[in-house]
Amino acid sequence: MKIPHSNISNSIQIVEASKKKRFFNYLIDTMFCFLLAFVIQETQKLYINIYIPEELILILTSAGYYILMEFFLGKTVGKHFTKTRVVDLSGKNIDFRTSMVRYFCRWIPFETFSLVLGGNAKAWHDVISKTLVVEDKI
């Protein structure tokens, strides 16, 4: 879906990413988070020698991954491969607070399925945080 965006000096088109690309973002990011959490877990076993539950490592890793990547880069590894990025409703990069809201909304039960609820369905973490995943022209 094309969304007109009026900038101060020019007008650009923001094109939302397809559900197919969003699905691939999800798959790639999930695999990357699990891999990153595994590496962190194995490293801490070798060097720290303190038991940290795997679930806690995964939660902290995914929080850091999504919040920091989307805030600093506007995209995750999955979004990089699909050439998409996350922006606010005016087409600008998201701020840290918005990045946190997006992450914590992903913990809403059944949120993963929110994109498949209908033709124009939006992911709840996008609706609540007032963000869009768009085609990346850069």
Q: What is the mean pLDDT of each run of 10 residues along the chain (138 residues)?
A: 46 84 96 96 87 93 98 97 96 97 95 82 93 90
Residues 6+ apart with CB under 8 A from 113: none
Q: Can you list the alpha helix ranges (DSSP code H) found in 1-132?
A: 19-47, 54-72, 77-82, 96-105, 124-129
User: Which pLDDT does position 8 carry in this prediction?
Assistant: 37
Range of the domain at 84: 2-135
pTM attached to this predicted model:
0.86
Any idea which residue has 């699909």 for tokens?
82
User: Which pLDDT does position 67 carry in this prediction?
Assistant: 98
As for how many domains the chain has, the answer is 1
